[in-house]
Protein backbone atom coordinates (compact mmCIF):
# COMPACT_ATOMS: atom_id res chain seq x y z
CA UNK A 1 0.00 0.00 0.00
CA UNK A 2 1.22 3.52 -0.77
CA UNK A 3 1.29 6.31 1.83
CA UNK A 4 -1.69 8.20 0.36
CA UNK A 5 -3.73 4.98 0.33
CA UNK A 6 -2.81 4.35 3.96
CA UNK A 7 -4.14 7.82 4.85
CA UNK A 8 -7.20 7.34 2.61
CA UNK A 9 -8.22 4.53 4.95
CA UNK A 10 -7.81 6.75 8.01
CA UNK A 11 -9.58 9.82 6.64
CA UNK A 12 -13.10 9.29 7.99
CA UNK A 13 -11.89 9.07 11.59
CA UNK A 14 -8.97 11.52 11.46
CA UNK A 15 -10.80 14.58 12.87
CA UNK A 16 -12.49 12.49 15.59
CA UNK A 17 -9.10 11.88 17.22
CA UNK A 18 -8.82 15.60 17.93
CA UNK A 19 -12.11 15.38 19.86
CA UNK A 20 -11.88 11.97 21.51
CA UNK A 21 -8.18 11.56 22.35
CA UNK A 22 -6.78 13.76 25.11
CA UNK A 23 -3.30 13.66 23.50
CA UNK A 24 -4.60 15.00 20.19
CA UNK A 25 -6.66 17.66 21.99
CA UNK A 26 -3.56 18.76 23.87
CA UNK A 27 -1.49 18.72 20.65
CA UNK A 28 -4.06 20.91 18.93
CA UNK A 29 -4.19 23.40 21.83
CA UNK A 30 -0.41 23.78 21.99
CA UNK A 31 0.06 24.11 18.23
CA UNK A 32 -2.81 26.62 18.05
CA UNK A 33 -1.09 28.62 20.79
CA UNK A 34 2.22 28.53 18.88
CA UNK A 35 0.47 29.69 15.70
CA UNK A 36 -1.24 32.53 17.53
CA UNK A 37 2.11 33.66 18.96
CA UNK A 38 4.20 33.39 15.82
CA UNK A 39 2.06 33.99 12.71
CA UNK A 40 1.74 37.56 11.51
CA UNK A 41 -1.68 38.95 12.43
CA UNK A 42 -2.60 40.59 9.13
CA UNK A 43 -5.11 38.28 7.41
CA UNK A 44 -3.52 37.12 4.20
CA UNK A 45 -2.56 33.80 2.63
CA UNK A 46 -1.42 30.64 4.32
CA UNK A 47 -0.61 27.19 2.94
CA UNK A 48 -1.44 24.07 4.99
CA UNK A 49 0.73 21.36 3.41
CA UNK A 50 -0.42 17.82 4.27
CA UNK A 51 -3.63 19.23 5.75
CA UNK A 52 -5.25 15.85 6.44
CA UNK A 53 -8.91 16.33 7.36
CA UNK A 54 -8.41 20.10 7.69
CA UNK A 55 -8.34 20.52 11.47
CA UNK A 56 -5.66 23.23 11.37
CA UNK A 57 -6.95 24.75 8.11
CA UNK A 58 -10.27 25.43 9.83
CA UNK A 59 -8.54 26.96 12.84
CA UNK A 60 -6.55 29.29 10.57
CA UNK A 61 -9.61 30.29 8.57
CA UNK A 62 -11.48 31.25 11.75
CA UNK A 63 -8.54 33.55 12.53
CA UNK A 64 -9.18 35.39 9.27
CA UNK A 65 -6.53 33.81 7.05
CA UNK A 66 -7.17 32.70 3.47
CA UNK A 67 -6.05 29.09 3.45
CA UNK A 68 -4.83 26.92 0.61
CA UNK A 69 -4.85 23.36 1.94
CA UNK A 70 -3.27 20.46 0.07
CA UNK A 71 -2.95 16.75 0.72
CA UNK A 72 -1.87 13.77 -1.37
CA UNK A 73 -4.78 11.66 -0.07
CA UNK A 74 -7.99 12.04 -2.09
CA UNK A 75 -10.09 10.79 0.82
CA UNK A 76 -8.50 13.17 3.33
CA UNK A 77 -9.40 16.12 1.09
CA UNK A 78 -12.95 14.74 0.68
CA UNK A 79 -13.27 14.51 4.44
CA UNK A 80 -11.74 18.00 4.92
CA UNK A 81 -14.24 19.49 2.45
CA UNK A 82 -17.11 17.76 4.24
CA UNK A 83 -15.91 19.04 7.62
CA UNK A 84 -15.42 22.60 6.37
CA UNK A 85 -18.80 23.44 4.83
CA UNK A 86 -19.37 27.17 5.18
CA UNK A 87 -15.64 27.98 5.50
CA UNK A 88 -15.27 30.08 2.39
CA UNK A 89 -11.73 31.05 3.20
CA UNK A 90 -10.35 27.53 2.57
CA UNK A 91 -9.41 26.20 -0.84
CA UNK A 92 -8.72 22.45 -0.71
CA UNK A 93 -6.68 20.71 -3.39
CA UNK A 94 -5.54 17.12 -3.86
CA UNK A 95 -1.82 17.48 -4.42
CA UNK A 96 1.42 16.00 -3.17
CA UNK A 97 3.84 18.65 -1.93
CA UNK A 98 6.29 17.48 -4.60
CA UNK A 99 3.92 18.35 -7.48
CA UNK A 100 2.15 21.38 -5.95
CA UNK A 101 2.32 24.43 -8.21
CA UNK A 102 2.20 28.00 -6.88
CA UNK A 103 4.12 31.20 -7.47
CA UNK A 104 7.38 31.59 -5.55
CA UNK A 105 6.95 33.73 -2.42
CA UNK A 106 3.15 33.63 -2.64
CA UNK A 107 2.38 32.61 0.98
CA UNK A 108 2.76 34.82 4.07
CA UNK A 109 2.77 31.71 6.22
CA UNK A 110 3.05 27.97 5.69
CA UNK A 111 2.10 25.30 8.21
CA UNK A 112 2.87 21.64 7.79
CA UNK A 113 2.07 19.23 10.60
CA UNK A 114 3.31 15.63 10.52
CA UNK A 115 4.07 15.69 6.79
CA UNK A 116 7.86 15.80 6.38
CA UNK A 117 8.32 12.35 7.91
CA UNK A 118 6.29 10.78 5.08
CA UNK A 119 8.14 12.49 2.24
CA UNK A 120 10.88 10.64 0.32
CA UNK A 121 13.07 13.71 -0.29
CA UNK A 122 12.48 15.84 2.79
CA UNK A 123 15.33 18.25 1.93
CA UNK A 124 13.63 19.00 -1.41
CA UNK A 125 10.26 19.43 0.34
CA UNK A 126 11.74 21.92 2.83
CA UNK A 127 13.40 23.82 -0.03
CA UNK A 128 10.04 23.92 -1.82
CA UNK A 129 8.21 25.24 1.26
CA UNK A 130 10.94 27.84 1.83
CA UNK A 131 10.63 28.95 -1.82
CA UNK A 132 6.86 29.42 -1.52
CA UNK A 133 7.26 31.64 1.54
CA UNK A 134 7.17 35.44 1.18
CA UNK A 135 10.30 37.37 2.18
CA UNK A 136 9.10 37.94 5.77
CA UNK A 137 6.94 34.81 5.94
CA UNK A 138 6.76 32.26 8.75
CA UNK A 139 6.97 28.47 8.40
CA UNK A 140 5.62 26.25 11.21
CA UNK A 141 6.23 22.49 11.06
CA UNK A 142 5.88 19.49 13.36
CA UNK A 143 7.94 16.31 13.05
CA UNK A 144 8.67 13.17 15.08
CA UNK A 145 11.30 13.95 17.74
CA UNK A 146 14.01 11.33 17.21
CA UNK A 147 15.66 12.39 20.49
CA UNK A 148 12.57 11.49 22.52
CA UNK A 149 12.60 8.32 24.62
CA UNK A 150 9.04 7.57 23.51
CA UNK A 151 10.21 7.30 19.87
CA UNK A 152 13.01 4.94 20.85
CA UNK A 153 10.57 2.71 22.77
CA UNK A 154 8.13 2.84 19.89
CA UNK A 155 10.90 1.87 17.44
CA UNK A 156 11.95 -1.02 19.69
CA UNK A 157 8.40 -2.41 19.95
CA UNK A 158 7.93 -2.05 16.19
CA UNK A 159 11.24 -3.85 15.60
CA UNK A 160 10.04 -6.73 17.81
CA UNK A 161 6.75 -6.80 15.91
CA UNK A 162 8.52 -7.07 12.55
CA UNK A 163 11.07 -9.63 13.82
CA UNK A 164 8.30 -11.77 15.32
CA UNK A 165 6.29 -11.53 12.06
CA UNK A 166 3.40 -9.83 13.85
CA UNK A 167 3.13 -12.45 16.58
CA UNK A 168 4.11 -9.84 19.19
CA UNK A 169 2.70 -6.28 19.41
CA UNK A 170 0.51 -7.01 16.41
CA UNK A 171 -0.90 -3.88 14.74
CA UNK A 172 1.25 -1.58 16.86
CA UNK A 173 2.94 1.43 15.23
CA UNK A 174 1.43 0.67 11.82
CA UNK A 175 2.28 4.18 10.57
CA UNK A 176 5.99 3.45 11.07
CA UNK A 177 5.77 1.31 7.92
CA UNK A 178 5.18 4.55 5.99
CA UNK A 179 7.40 6.93 7.93
CA UNK A 180 10.66 7.72 6.16
CA UNK A 181 12.20 10.34 8.45
CA UNK A 182 12.58 11.33 12.07
CA UNK A 183 14.54 14.34 13.32
CA UNK A 184 16.41 15.57 16.33
CA UNK A 185 15.41 19.21 16.93
CA UNK A 186 19.00 20.21 16.15
CA UNK A 187 18.86 18.42 12.76
CA UNK A 188 15.58 20.03 11.75
CA UNK A 189 16.79 23.49 12.78
CA UNK A 190 19.92 22.89 10.69
CA UNK A 191 17.91 21.82 7.62
CA UNK A 192 15.85 25.00 7.97
CA UNK A 193 19.03 27.07 8.35
CA UNK A 194 20.27 25.64 5.07
CA UNK A 195 17.19 27.25 3.46
CA UNK A 196 17.82 30.60 5.17
CA UNK A 197 15.19 30.04 7.87
CA UNK A 198 15.92 30.81 11.52
CA UNK A 199 14.04 29.37 14.49
CA UNK A 200 11.68 31.73 16.29
CA UNK A 201 10.26 29.28 18.81
CA UNK A 202 10.13 25.51 19.34
CA UNK A 203 7.92 23.32 21.53
CA UNK A 204 7.77 19.61 22.38
CA UNK A 205 4.60 17.58 22.25
CA UNK A 206 3.86 14.37 24.12
CA UNK A 207 1.36 12.15 22.23
CA UNK A 208 2.80 8.96 23.62
CA UNK A 209 1.17 8.61 27.04
CA UNK A 210 -2.33 9.67 27.92
CA UNK A 211 -3.00 10.78 31.49
CA UNK A 212 -4.31 13.55 33.71
CA UNK A 213 -3.53 17.09 32.59
CA UNK A 214 -0.74 17.60 35.15
CA UNK A 215 1.30 14.80 33.47
CA UNK A 216 1.58 16.56 30.12
CA UNK A 217 3.95 19.41 31.04
CA UNK A 218 6.35 16.80 32.52
CA UNK A 219 6.35 14.79 29.27
CA UNK A 220 6.61 17.78 26.95
CA UNK A 221 10.39 17.79 27.11
CA UNK A 222 13.04 16.99 24.54
CA UNK A 223 14.15 13.76 26.31
CA UNK A 224 10.66 12.23 26.20
CA UNK A 225 8.37 14.01 23.75
CA UNK A 226 7.18 12.28 20.57
CA UNK A 227 7.02 15.45 18.53
CA UNK A 228 8.92 18.66 17.93
CA UNK A 229 7.08 21.66 16.52
CA UNK A 230 8.84 24.87 15.58
CA UNK A 231 8.28 28.20 13.86
CA UNK A 232 10.92 29.65 11.50
CA UNK A 233 11.36 32.88 9.62
CA UNK A 234 13.96 34.22 7.20
CA UNK A 235 17.19 35.10 8.95
C1 LIG B 1 -0.13 12.39 9.94
S2 LIG B 1 -1.19 13.13 8.77
C3 LIG B 1 -1.29 14.79 9.38
C4 LIG B 1 -2.52 15.52 8.94
C5 LIG B 1 -2.68 16.93 9.50
N6 LIG B 1 -1.59 17.79 9.12
C7 LIG B 1 -2.80 16.90 10.99
O8 LIG B 1 -1.83 17.26 11.70
O9 LIG B 1 -3.88 16.52 11.49
C10 LIG B 1 -0.10 13.29 7.38
C11 LIG B 1 -0.83 13.78 6.14
O12 LIG B 1 0.16 14.04 5.12
C13 LIG B 1 -0.35 13.57 3.88
N14 LIG B 1 0.80 13.31 2.99
C15 LIG B 1 1.69 12.30 3.06
N16 LIG B 1 2.63 12.43 2.10
C17 LIG B 1 2.31 13.57 1.41
C18 LIG B 1 2.90 14.27 0.33
N19 LIG B 1 4.02 13.82 -0.26
N20 LIG B 1 2.32 15.42 -0.10
C21 LIG B 1 1.17 15.89 0.50
N22 LIG B 1 0.58 15.26 1.53
C23 LIG B 1 1.13 14.12 1.99
C24 LIG B 1 -1.15 12.35 4.23
O25 LIG B 1 -2.08 12.01 3.22
C26 LIG B 1 -1.79 12.76 5.55
O27 LIG B 1 -3.05 13.36 5.36
Tell me, yes or no, whether 164 lies in a domain: no
Count, residues in the chain: 235
Alpha carbon of 65 to ligand 1 centroid (Å): 21
- CATH of residue 34's domain is 3.40.50.150
By alpha-carbon position, which residue is closest to atom 1 of ligand 1? Answer: 114
Structural domain boundaries enclosing 207 = 3-144+178-234
Q: Which residues of the chain have pLDDT under 70?
A: 43, 207-211
Alpha carbon of 102 to ligand 1 centroid (Å): 19
Q: What is the pLDDT of residue 209?
A: 66
**Exposed / middle / buried, residue 94 (Cβ in 10 Å: 0-12, 13-18, 19+):** middle
Alpha carbon of 217 to ligand 1 centroid (Å): 27
Atom of ligand 1 nearest to the CA of 142: 8
Tell me, yes or no, whether 169 lies in a domain: no
DSSP 37-49: HHS-SS--EEEEE
Identify the residues whose C-beta falls under 6 Å from ligand 1.
Answer: 3-4, 7, 50-52, 55, 71-73, 76, 96-98, 113-115, 118-119
H or E stretch covering 109: strand 107-113
Tell me, yes or no, whether 135 lies in a domain: yes
Tell me, yes or no, whether 203 lies in a domain: yes
Q: What is the pLDDT of residue 220?
A: 87
Domain count, the chain: 1
Distance in angstroms between the alpha carbons of the first and the last residue of the chain: 40
Q: What is the pLDDT of residue 191?
A: 98
Tell me, yes or no, whether 103 lies in a domain: yes
Q: Sign of the CA dihedral 151, 139, 60, 105?
A: negative
Tell me, yes or no, whether 92 lies in a domain: yes
Alpha carbon of 74 to ligand 1 centroid (Å): 11
Q: What is the pLDDT of residue 88?
A: 81
Q: Which of 71, 98, 179 to mutate to test the pocket of ligand 1 (most atoms within 8 A of CB)?
A: 71
Tell me, yes or no, whether 151 lies in a domain: no
Tell me, yes or no, whether 156 lies in a domain: no
Amino acid sequence: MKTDQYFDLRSSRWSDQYVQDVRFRRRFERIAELLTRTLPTSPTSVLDAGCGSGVFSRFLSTKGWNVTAIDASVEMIESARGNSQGSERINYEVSAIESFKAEAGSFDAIVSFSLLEYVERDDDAIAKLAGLLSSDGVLVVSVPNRSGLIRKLEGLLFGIRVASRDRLFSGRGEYLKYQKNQYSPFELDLMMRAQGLKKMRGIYLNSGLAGPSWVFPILERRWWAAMYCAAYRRS
